[in-house]
């Protein structure tokens, strides 16, 4: 099974920035579309951002457009999420996920992703 490990989470004040990173332990990383999801306590997991194999297509949730940027480095087997202008409502556990399906546009449903990381906590204070 594909191993995905997130890092970069932590505590930040509103208006600040964080950069999350996800590293894959296999050499087939470039074969997957990648996505970021988040889940707050007692709430459903929601889509944040997605990126295709080459990085040529990206999709963002309306709530993070203009603030978050997803990118990938296939040579290093990593995908990142740059989060700027953070708000308290961004507080959640953030997960990276891999999608083995071939698509021109990233999927936005968690049901379309096959492998998941363990998650990293992001807390935004007022």
Q: Which two tokens mark 63?
A: 């709530």
Residue 4: predicted pLDDT: 93
Question: For 7-35, how does the pLDDT look when each residue is reduced to its tens digit (9 = 90+)?
Answer: 999 999 999 999 999 998 866 666 789 99
Residue 55: predicted pLDDT: 77
Give CA separation, 54 vs 3, 36, 83, in Å: 20, 16, 21
Question: For 28-81, how does the pLDDT look when each residue is reduced to its tens digit (9 = 90+)?
Answer: 666 789 999 999 999 999 999 999 987 789 999 999 999 999 999 888 889 999
Residue 22 C-beta-side C-alpha neighbours within 13 Å? 28
End-to-end CA distance of the chain: 39
Place of tokens 């363990």: 118
Q: Are strands 10-13 and 120-125 parallel, antiparallel or unpaired?
A: parallel
Give CA separation, 113 vs 18, 50, 69, 75, 89, in Å: 24, 11, 20, 22, 24
């Amino acid at each position: 099974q594909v191993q995905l490990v997130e890092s970069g989470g932590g505590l930040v004040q509103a208006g600040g920035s964080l950069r999350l990173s996800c590293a894959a332990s296999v050499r087939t990383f470039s074969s997957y579309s990648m996505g970021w999801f988040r889940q707050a306590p007692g709430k459903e997991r929601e889509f944040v951002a997605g990126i295709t194999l080459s990085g040529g297509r990206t999709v963002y949730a309306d709530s993070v457009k203009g603030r978050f940027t997803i990118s990938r480095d296939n040579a290093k087997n990593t995908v990142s999420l740059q989060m700027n202008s953070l708000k308290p409502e961004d507080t959640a556990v953030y997960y990276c996920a891999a999608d083995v399906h071939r698509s021109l546009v990233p999927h936005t449903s968690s049901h379309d992703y096959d492998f998941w990381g363990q998650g990293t906590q992001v807390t935004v204070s007022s």
